[in-house]
Amino acid sequence: MFPETVLHTDRLVLRPFTDADIEDTRASCADALTQRWLPLPRPYTSADATAWCTSVSHALRESGDGIHFAVTDARTERLPGTVGLKKTDWRARVSEVGYRVSPWARGDGVAAEATRALARRLLADHRFERLELRAATADTASRRTAVTAGFHPEGILRNAGFVHDGRVDLVPFSLLPDDLRRPAR
């Protein structure tokens, strides 16, 4: 199991979700572009946001599956996004990272910065061997974020993902401990 953790970058604080994050989570997850790429409940309600912020995200950490962070602006404490780990294989020392950026923070580099901070924590501090990321081939913003955070594409996984509109091809990306020695793009 991952310990409850708070991570800091120059402008972001990555911390556990609280009930203060419910409204920003609801607004972000109900957004049409977010709904296009993530198979979240539709419609995404206040009850969904409450469950995520107060119990589901915490239960995932306690189960050992991963850890999920509310990514907050260090100055305003507003929630520009989230980043988290899932499908953690403790024996193989591999996990998968995912992120979501709120509409009011898109294009600001929040996801790449938060992902890089979490990657350093996982690969350096927890001595994991591999961090994976998957993005739909048509989700160019997510693919750009992965590369900016230092991940390397590894081909195409045909028909491997699902969104509300059906099946999609995915690009798998990876980040290894040695990759952290190189500056992010």
Domain assignment of residue 1, yes or no: no
Q: At residue 121, does pLDDT exceed 90?
A: yes
Give the start-end residues of each E strand in the chain: 7-8, 12-15, 68-73, 81-89, 94-101, 130-136, 152-153, 157-163, 166-175
Number of domains composing the chain: 1
Domain assignment of residue 2, yes or no: no
Q: At residue 45, does pLDDT exceed 70?
A: yes
Domain assignment of residue 56, yes or no: yes
The DSSP result for 26-80, as a single string, is HHHHHSHHHHHHS---SS--HHHHHHIIIIIHHHHHHHTS--EEEEEETTT----
pTM of the predicted protein model: 0.94
Calculate the alpha carbon distances from 83 to 113, 158, 165 in Å: 10, 25, 24
Kindly give, in sequence order, each residue whose CB lies less than 8 Å from that of residue 1, ignoring residues fewer than 6 positions away: 61, 62, 63, 64
Domain assignment of residue 70, yes or no: yes
Cα(42)–Cα(185) distance, integer angstroms: 35
Domain assignment of residue 15, yes or no: yes
What pLDDT shows up at residue 161?
95
Q: At residue 53, does pLDDT exceed 90?
A: yes
CATH code, domain carrying 170: 3.40.630.30
What pLDDT shows up at residue 38?
95
How does pLDDT run across 1-41, given as a tens digit for each residue?
788 999 999 999 999 999 999 999 999 999 999 999 999 99
Which residues form the domain of 133?
7-181
Calculate the alpha carbon distances from 109 to 48, 73, 104, 116, 142 in Å: 26, 12, 12, 11, 11
> By CB neighbour count within 10 A (0-12 exposed, 13-18 middle, 19+ buried), where does 9 fall?
middle
